[in-house]
Amino acid sequence: MVQRKAFLTSRPTVWSALVPVVAILAGVLFATSGSVAQGRSLRSDGAGLPDLIREQTQDNKRMTNQLNTLTAQVDALTKTSVPGSSEVDELKAKGDAIAAVAGREAVQGPGVEVVLEDSHMPVDQLPEGFTVDDIVVHQQDVQAVVNAFWAGGAEAMMIQDQRIIATSAVRCVGNTLILQGRVYSPPYRIKAIGDPKRLRAILDQSPEIGIYKEYVDAVGLGYEVTTSKKFEFPAFVGSITPDFATVGSE
């Protein structure tokens, strides 16, 4: 920055008289600056506005070049992967093969339904040693049925009115079920499509369900199993993208 010079119009004799005063004031200013700075520069550490503008301009230029490069790569891949190409056909075949497993297709077939319900026994009539927690269906009870169905070879499953898949989370708060963002109250209906005989057999073999049945007898928890010749399940509409994943050994 250009510093403007002051014009002195005073007489030489007056200027000569002012020299000592100016020298004293300058000394005071130097001492004050040194005390305030404490060995540091009094200039601002931050860049000026012009410097910031230049820096941002360079960043914009760099990101624009990256965008152009990526756009060119996408265009090239799009041209080489037109419908009918071997790569597209191969990916489509793989997608179709896993669509059913991922629950992306509506399915129908025979299966089994389990209904779990809270006990209607009055609290003041509970047997000795039992509490209110013992007469409601909990998360582990619902999960026990779900796990048994998957272990029994279930091809598809629903809880209440929602299709679920192997990664669906079952959460209960009190006597309410939270499933994929929705809240349900008992009775809880879990349906599975698969071999009915095998599904019913696996329910009978489950240790967790066996414990639940003991509470059915003791405090009246609801447990009902029925077989259907035909269930119709809609496609799963939730996300199938995992938040965490690891590479397998094979």
Q: What angle do CA 154, 160, 166 make, to 5 degrees?
A: 35
Work out how many domains the chain is built from and give that number: 1
Model's pTM, two decimal places?
0.61
Give me the CATH number covering residue 220.
3.30.70.1880
CA atoms within 13 A on the CB side of 7: 1
**Measuring CA to CA, how many Å separate 172 from each of 142, 146, 169, 176, 188?**
9, 14, 10, 6, 11
**pLDDT tens-digit map of 178-188:** 888 889 999 99
- Between 223 and 24, residue with greater pLDDT: 223
Residue 20 located in a structural domain:
no
CB neighbourhood size of 248 (10 A) = 5
Residue 117 located in a structural domain:
yes
Residue 49 located in a structural domain:
no
Q: Give the range of the structural domain holding residue 162, as residue numbers without chain letter.
A: 107-233
**pLDDT tens-digit map of 144-173:** 999 999 999 999 999 999 999 888 888 888
Residue 4 located in a structural domain:
no
> For position 51, what pLDDT does the model report?
61
Residue 243 located in a structural domain:
no
Best mean pLDDT range from 50-54, 147-151, 242-246: 147-151
